[in-house]
């Protein structure tokens, strides 16, 4: 009996222990179930907040940051002027010309003309860089900032060969765009074109931003024969450049100006993804000259060159017709003092091969007073190299 009771007591104790352990297990399980749910909800809520913040940060792309840095310094330029225009002869004037002979000129009158373009403030003193063709021949220039302030612009200087001009305004707290290094460009990197192509028509001074890539560098573009501009080492971009963008900045992803938007190749008149900008390093040299001298000083080397045609080569008994002929070297000139002589064949400028007169002229384009130009020449069977220090041409 006592043994049976002991047996039952043991069984009861086991049941009690089983119940306690089951309860403990359930308690632990419930806590573990509830805990992860609360944590999951908290973490999910946290992820939502951080995701919103991350989304906002993701919107501020390199393009946005570049536009925010350069955009405020981008200006609208409107120029106004007059020109003399000869009207076509009237029917009466044409009648007299036909029956009585002689020249009957049409009426001459003044025509008012306007142009719009863009520019970029490059100095707190109010110096603005733009294209020369934007302000060429205009008497009045107005500059409008993105904050709405309007200024009378004074054209310090412009050079049609470079198609660059510097306009000066007098103002306080002017936004300035930082200048980059166009020699450090990589094909394929971001290119952001900023300007005000139609802002003057819609009354909005805020600049327009288009983005693309640097499609190519060091492009030499042959301009129209009627144009004095020489477009050398140009930056090609597929960022849309439209009328009115001329003179505006081309920026990189760091928010630095790397070029001056100048023109496009187009069959339709609109942007087709082939735009060109003048490198900012070329512009730097022009800016310095214009601010200091009001113009880009003409250089003097003292060599007249001509094409080395097969006929000329045959007459001079030259077997290799590569290069250009130094047909005249001015006595006492920088070239003469360096050792260049009439009859020398110039085959390279600054160690870059030249094939014709156009190539030779383009090779020295951009040289400033005081620069050193290296000419490689053939004289008989010898190949010689000379260094010429460029001087300012007499006025």
Three-state SS string over 260-292 comes to: EEEEECCCCCCCCCCEEEEEHHHHHHHHHHHHH
Scan for tokens 């050792």, then name that residue: 339
For the annotated catalytic residues, the residue numbers are 133, 163, 246
pLDDT of residue 385: 96
pLDDT of residue 138: 83
Q: How large is the average pLDDT for residues 162-176?
A: 95
174 contacts: CB under 8 Å, gap ≥ 6 = 73, 121, 124, 126, 145
Closest CA to 335 of 364, 362, 359: 364
Mean pLDDT for the chain?
82
> Where do the domains of the chain lie?
70-168, 182-293, 299-392
Render 113-149 in DSSP notation, one character per residue.
EEEEEEEEE-STT-EEEE-HHHHTT-SEEEEE-TTS-
pLDDT tens digits, residue range 220-259?
887 665 677 788 899 999 998 887 788 999 999 999 999 9
pLDDT of residue 53: 78
What architecture is the 182-293 domain classified under in CATH? Beta Barrel (2.40)
What tokens does 325 get?
A: 């002929």
Asked if 178 and 69 touch (Cβ cutoff 8 Å), the reply is yes
In terms of phi and psi (left: phi > 0; alpha: psi -120 to 50; beta: otherwise), the region of 233 is left
Asked if 134 and 165 touch (Cβ cutoff 8 Å), the reply is yes
Same CATH topology for 70-168 and 182-293?
Answer: yes
What tokens does 302 get?
A: 């003292």
CATH for 70-168 (1.20.58.390, 1.10.10.60, 3.40.50.720, 2.40.10.10): 2.40.10.10
What tokens does 31 get?
A: 């806590």
Kind of pairing between the strands at 345-349 and 372-379: antiparallel
Residue 159 vs residues 123, 333, 389: alpha-carbon distances, Å = 20, 25, 23
Q: How confident is the model at residue 21 (pLDDT cuts 50, 70, 90)?
A: very low
Integer Cα distance of 16 and 8 in angstroms: 12
Scan for tokens 């308690």, then name that residue: 27
147 contacts: CB under 8 Å, gap ≥ 6 = 72, 205
Scan for tokens 């006492």, then name that residue: 332
What tokens does 79 get?
A: 């120029």
- pTM of the model as a whole: 0.74
pLDDT tens digits, residue range 90-148?
666 665 556 655 555 556 666 677 788 999 999 999 999 999 999 988 878 999 999 98
Closest CA to 203 of 150, 127, 251: 150
Checking if the pLDDT of 334 tops 80, the result is: yes
In terms of phi and psi (left: phi > 0; alpha: psi -120 to 50; beta: otherwise), the region of 258 is alpha
Q: How confident is the model at residue 155 (pLDDT cuts 50, 70, 90)?
A: very high
Q: What is the DSSP letter of 222?
A: P
pLDDT tens digits, residue range 187-219?
999 999 999 866 555 566 788 899 999 999 998
CA atoms within 13 A on the CB side of 254: 10
CATH 3.40.50.300 fits 299-392, yes or no: no
């Amino acid at each position: 009996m006592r043994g049976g009771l002991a047996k039952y007591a043991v069984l009861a104790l086991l049941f009690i222990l089983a119940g306690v352990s089951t309860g403990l297990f359930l308690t632990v399980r419930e806590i573990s179930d509830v805990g992860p749910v609360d944590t999951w909800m908290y973490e999910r809520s946290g992820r939502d907040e951080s995701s919103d913040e991350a989304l906002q940060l993701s919107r501020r792309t390199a393009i946005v940051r570049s536009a925010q840095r350069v955009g405020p310094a981008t200006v609208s330029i409107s120029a106004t002027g007059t020109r003399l225009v000869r009207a076509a002869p009237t029917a009466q004037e044409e009648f007299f010309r036909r029956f009585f002979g002689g020249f009957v000129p049409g009426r001459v009158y003044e025509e008012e003309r306007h142009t719009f373009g863009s520019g970029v403030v490059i100095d707190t003193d109010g110096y603005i860089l733009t294209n020369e063709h934007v302000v060429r021949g205009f008497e009045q220039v107005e500059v409008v900032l993105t904050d709405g302030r309007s200024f009378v612009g004074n054209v310090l200087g412009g050079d049609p060969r470079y198609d660059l001009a510097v306009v000066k305004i007098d103002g306080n707290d002017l936004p300035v765009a930082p200048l980059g290094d166009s020699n450090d460009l990589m094909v394929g990197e971001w290119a952001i074109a900023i300007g005000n192509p139609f802002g003057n028509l819609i009354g909005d001074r805020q600049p327009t931003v288009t983005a693309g890539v640097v499609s190519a560098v060091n492009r030499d573009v042959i301009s129209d024969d009627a144009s004095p501009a020489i477009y050398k080492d140009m930056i090609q971009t597929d960022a849309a450049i439209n009328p009115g963008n001329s003179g505006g900045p081309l920026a990189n992803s760091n928010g630095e100006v790397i070029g001056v938007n100048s023109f496009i190749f187009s069959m339709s008149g609109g942007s087709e993804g082939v735009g060109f900008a003048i490198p900012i390093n070329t512009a730097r040299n022009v800016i310095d000259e214009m601010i200091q001298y009001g113009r880009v000083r003409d250089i003097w080397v003292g060599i007249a060159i001509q094409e080395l045609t097969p006929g000329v080569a045959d007459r001079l008994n030259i077997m290799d017709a590569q290069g250009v002929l130094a047909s005249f070297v001015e006595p006492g000139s920088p070239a003469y003092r360096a050792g260049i002589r009439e009859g020398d064949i110039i085959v390279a400028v600054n160690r870059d091969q030249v094939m014709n007169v156009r190539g030779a002229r383009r090779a020295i384009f951009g040289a400033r007073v005081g620069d050193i130009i290296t000419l490689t020449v053939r004289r008989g069977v010898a190949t010689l190299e000379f260094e010429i220090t460029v001087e300012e041409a007499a006025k």
